[in-house]
Amino acid sequence: MARRQLLIRDRTVGTTPRRSILLQRVGAAVLVACALLPATAPSATTQPATPTGPRVPNELGRIPIVEWHQVVAADGTYKVSRERFRAELRELHARGYVPVNLSELLDKTMDVPAGKTPVLFTFDDASPSQFRYIERNGTLVVDPTSAVGMLLDFIKGHSDWKAKGLFCLLPAAEAGHAFFGDKGIDGQKTEWRFKKVQFLASQGFELCNHTLWHAKLNKYSDAVVQEQLARGAMAIDSAVPGYRVRGLALPYGLWPKNRALAFNGSWYDTQSKRSVRYHHEAVFQVSGGPARSPFDPAFNPKSLPRVPLQGGTTLSTTLDQMDKPGAWARYVSDGNPKTVAQP
C-alpha cells in the first residue's frame, strides 16, 4: 500500500522541490528511444539456408529476442509499420518460432513443441502505439491497430501461440511514454495507464524495467541510477502489487558507470522514510543478434543481445542466418522439456 501511495505522488508531480527536480529531468529527457548498433553476424560458414526435412533438435542453439519500439503508419527509425509488424508475426510463425516468456528462459522451463524454436518478443518504451484503448459503447476495447491488439488477434487465429512477451516499461517519460499513454496523447487517458499494465500481466505477458523516464544511465550518479531503477520497478509494483520484475532493458544500451547497479540497488524515499530495493536477473542490450540458449554454458542473462526491428532492418536476414549451421544456428526443441538435446 505504501508503494502505491508513493507512486501516486510521482504521478501528481508539481509542488515539492523534489517534484520540480523530477519535472526538469523529465523535460531534459526527451524520448528518442534506444540507440541501435548494427548487429554483426558471425562470419564464415556458408551452408544451404533452408534444410529440407524435419529440423534436427539442438537445444544449445540461438534464440532470437526481437525488439520493437513504435508500431505506427510507416517504417522509420525505431518504427515499424502495422503491416510490417503483422508480416513479422506471420514470418516467425511460418518459420517455426513459438513465443516464450523471459521467466521461462531464465528458469529453463521453455516448453516448445519438437522442431520449433523459442522467440522472446520485447516491446520497449511503453508508447500508445503499442497499446491503445478505445471506448466503444462505454466499454474499453484494445485498439486492434495497436501492437497488443494485432498480437492478440494473431494469437486468436494461431492456437499454438500463447500471449507471451516482455513489455519494458517507462512509467513517467514524455510524449505519452508513460505506461502507454498520458494526458490525452494519442487519445489515451491517464487513468487507463495502470489498467493497461494490469491487462498485460493478466493475459500472460511479462513486465520489465526500462527506467523511470528513459534515463541515460551512464551520465548519472549512483544515487540517480538507483532512483531511476527503483522507481521504475516500484511503478510496476504499484500497478500490479507484488509483481516480480526480473528484467531491465538499458535505455540506449548504456550501462551505469557502476555496472553492478544495473542488477541490484535501492533508493531511499525521504517522504515515506523507507528504502525501495530492486533486483534484475536479466539485462537487455539493444542489439547484438540472437541470444544464446540458457542451456549453453556461455549463456549470460546479465547481458542479453537482441534483434532490433525497425526501418532499414529485416527480420528475414537474421532468421536466414539462423537456418545455417554456425555460431547463430537456431535452437530447435526436441519437444521434451526434461532433456537438453545436443546435435
Nearer to Zn ion, 8 or 32 (CB): 32
Rounded to a whole number of angstroms, the minimum distance from the CB of residue 167 to Zn ion is: 12
**What are the phi and psi torsion angles at 162 (to 5°)?**
-110, 165
**For residue 18, which of 276, 272, 216, 270 has the smallest C-alpha distance?**
270
Nearer to Zn ion, 6 or 249 (CB): 249
Stretch that binds Zn ion, among 119-127, 292-300, 315-323, 335-343 (CB under 5 A): 119-127
- Amino acid at site 228: Q
Nearer to Zn ion, 124 or 227 (CB): 124
CB 272 within 8 A of CB 249: no
Residue nearest to Zn ion (CB): 34
Rounded to a whole number of angstroms, the minimum distance from the CB of residue 214 to Zn ion is: 6
Stretch that binds Zn ion, among 29-37, 137-145, 185-193, 294-302 (CB under 5 A): 29-37
Binding mask 73-112 for Zn ion (x = CB under 5 A): ----------------------------------------
Rounded to a whole number of angstroms, the minimum distance from the CB of residue 306 to Zn ion is: 11
Grid coordinates standing for 229?
531503477
In sequence order, what are the beta bridge partners of 269? Answer: 274
Q: Does 124 bind Zn ion (CB under 5 A)?
A: yes
Rounded to a whole number of angstroms, the minimum distance from the CB of residue 201 to Zn ion is: 20
- What is the distance between the alpha carbons of residues 257 and 261, in angstroms, rounded to a whole number? 9
Q: Which of residues 251-290 bind Zn ion (CB under 5 A)?
A: 251
CB 317 within 8 A of CB 307: no
Nearer to Zn ion, 97 or 167 (CB): 167
- What is the distance between the alpha carbons of residues 153 and 134, in angstroms, rounded to a whole number? 16
CB 72 within 8 A of CB 129: yes
Helix (H, G, I), strand (E, B) or coil at 279: strand
Stretch that binds Zn ion, among 94-102, 121-129, 140-148, 332-340 (CB under 5 A): 121-129
Nearer to Zn ion, 26 or 34 (CB): 34
- What is the distance between the alpha carbons of residues 10 and 303, in angstroms, rounded to a whole number? 30
Stretch that binds Zn ion, among 35-43, 93-101, 123-131, 194-202 (CB under 5 A): 123-131
Question: In Å, how far are 80, 94, 97, 193, 308 from 312, measured between CA atoms?
Answer: 10, 22, 22, 31, 10
Binding mask 192-211 for Zn ion (x = CB under 5 A): --------------------
Grid coordinates standing for 65?
529476442
Rounded to a whole number of angstroms, the minimum distance from the CB of residue 148 to Zn ion is: 17
- Amino acid at site 17: P
Binding mask 38-77 for Zn ion (x = CB under 5 A): ----------------------------------------
CB 186 within 8 A of CB 132: yes
Rounded to a whole number of angstroms, the minimum distance from the CB of residue 340 to Zn ion is: 33
Helix (H, G, I), strand (E, B) or coil at 312: coil
Total number of residues binding Zn ion (CB under 5 A)? 5
- What is the distance between the alpha carbons of residues 6 and 203, in angstroms, rounded to a whole number? 26
Residue found under cell 494485432: 150
CB 91 within 8 A of CB 307: no
Stretch that binds Zn ion, among 183-191, 247-255, 258-266, 313-321 (CB under 5 A): 247-255
Rounded to a whole number of angstroms, the minimum distance from the CB of residue 158 to Zn ion is: 28
Nearer to Zn ion, 112 or 307 (CB): 307
Dihedral Cα 136, 140, 142, 144, nearest 10 deg: 0
- Residues that bind Zn ion in the complex, under the rule CB under 5 A: 33-34, 124-125, 251
